[in-house]
Amino acid sequence: MKKILTIAIREYKAMVGTKAFLASIVMMPILMLGGLVAIQLLNKVGEVKERRIAIADGTGELTEVIQRAAESRNAAIDSALNDQENASMAGRDRGGPSLNRGEKFYFEVVDQELDEEKRISLSERISNQELYGLLEIPANALDPLAAAPQDSPINSDQATNSPLDAIRFYSQDSGLSPARGWLQSIISEHAKALRLRQAKVDPIIVAQASVPIEVKGMGLVRRASDGTVVAAEEKDVMSALFLPMGVMMLMFMVIFMASQPMLESVLEEKSQRIAEVLLGSANPFQIMSGKLIGSVAGSITIFSIYLVGIYFLAQQRGMLDAFPMHLVPWFIVFQILGVLFYAAIFLAVGASVTQLKEAQSILLPVWMLLMSPMFIWIFIVQDPNGSVAKWFSLFPPATPTTMMLRLSTGQTIPWWQPATGVLLTTLATLAIVVIAGRIFRIGILWQGKTPKLSEIVRWGISG
């Protein structure tokens, strides 16, 4: 036991006592969740672009509607920028959300009807960035009678059944252009009002009748330990969606950061012939056990650092009520099992090969198992008690991540399911450790030709 603890302490110090460990602690959350942070930062950048768009209006009436809407939009953007600048100069900018990236639109009126030569000419101006885009509106774009269904109560006797010509927006980024969506909304609202007036229906009445009725998502009413009734609180959609994702990503990061060094450690000892020296003082079981214990201790350190950081961040933002402290015991249990499971596999693979590039192809299925909950996490969050979520969380390689994902949704998970998950993962971990121990005992001194996968499997089965 003394030898095992000595090896475990050495592995623990080798994992957490380096600058690379501190760098990985900082960089891993950025790597996993950097996209969300980048979106928040970009939302604070008041980048406003001016877009000049040519408009060929065959109807003769939409140009004025669009230009009025653009003037209102541009004025609102200018006002928001001024308010933001004044708040910053007065020292009132507290880092809250500011103006998102905006676009100001200006229009250049061209011929009502375009031929191919004119379209080519305008397209060349767009390519040369003299124009941003071209909006071509056909003459019958607002015809309320065109293409009306025969059973329509509005135009059942007057429908022409002539097809509506599509309004076309030409630009180099028309598929993703915000301008296209904005123009579509302005034209659609105007066409809707026009058709209602044609049907002798007051658009104001329709707008009032179309006001949606809000249905708030609430939690459950519960009784506190002192007998008082605790009122239900409104559920935040973003919190309900991203809190489980954050817990899942934290579990993945802890397992990854604690298991990956095992592969590198064994490869280093094999390549530098340190393994022979170690085997002169301890047997393979003691070496492997010490490495696994050191890996678990390192994972607990990683989790503790993140837990303290998240706690203080929630405290600073006044979000302690949303901090899932009740999940910490479950997280620690599944974390230890997950680290033992995957660290044992990494140790076995590291002992079987002599170079890192050889290990990468063998570890690909292992990575797929570890990352598998990320492929369906949104379905699990939407229905954590569904059959897919239940059975996937009882699949040992995916149990630690999937079960924590389910528990963090806030829905009631039957107690036997986490307990069964712990039992199944424990049994699977013991089996993996035994198999990995057999592979490690043979592979730690294996030199020369890289063993085939079938040979590694035979080592694990027969020893």
Which of 262, 432, 257, 433 shows the shortest CA–CA distance to 335?
A: 257
Give φ, ψ of 395 to 5 degrees.
-90, 105
CB 450 within 8 A of CB 353: yes
Question: How many CB atoms are located within 10 Å of the residue 254 CB?
Answer: 24
Is the Cα torsion angle 413, 416, 419, 420 positive or negative in sign? negative
pTM of the model: 0.71
Residues in the chain: 463
> What local confidence, expressed as pLDDT, does residue 125 receive?
94
Give φ, ψ of 118 to 5 degrees.
-70, -40
User: Six-digit token pair at 329?
Assistant: 């015991």
Q: What is the pLDDT of residues 81-105, one digit of tens each?
A: 777 666 655 554 444 444 445 789 9
Angle at 329 between CA 227 and CA 404, to 5 degrees: 100
Q: What is the pLDDT of residues 311-331, one digit of tens each?
A: 888 888 777 777 788 889 999
Query: What is the rounded distance in angstroms from the CA atom of residue 338 to the CA atom of residue 223?
Result: 36
User: Six-digit token pair at 128?
Assistant: 């040369």
- The answer for residues whose C-beta is within 8 angstroms of residue 333's C-beta and 6 or more apart is 422
CB 336 within 8 A of CB 249: no
Q: What is the pLDDT along the chain (463 residues), one digit of tens a residue?
A: 788 888 888 888 888 877 878 888 888 777 766 666 666 666 565 567 889 999 999 888 899 999 999 999 999 888 887 776 666 555 544 444 444 457 899 999 998 888 899 999 999 999 999 999 999 999 888 876 554 555 555 444 444 445 557 889 999 988 888 899 999 999 999 988 888 888 888 888 888 888 888 888 777 787 877 878 877 777 777 777 778 888 898 899 899 888 888 888 887 777 777 777 777 778 777 888 888 899 999 999 999 998 888 888 888 877 777 778 888 999 999 999 999 999 988 888 888 877 777 777 788 888 888 888 889 988 898 899 989 999 999 999 999 999 999 998 888 899 999 999 999 999 998 888 888 888 877 777 776 677 777 777 888 887 6
User: Six-digit token pair at 27?
Assistant: 């960089």
Domain architecture of the chain: domains with CATH = 2-33+238-462 (no CATH), 49-80+101-205 (3.40.190)
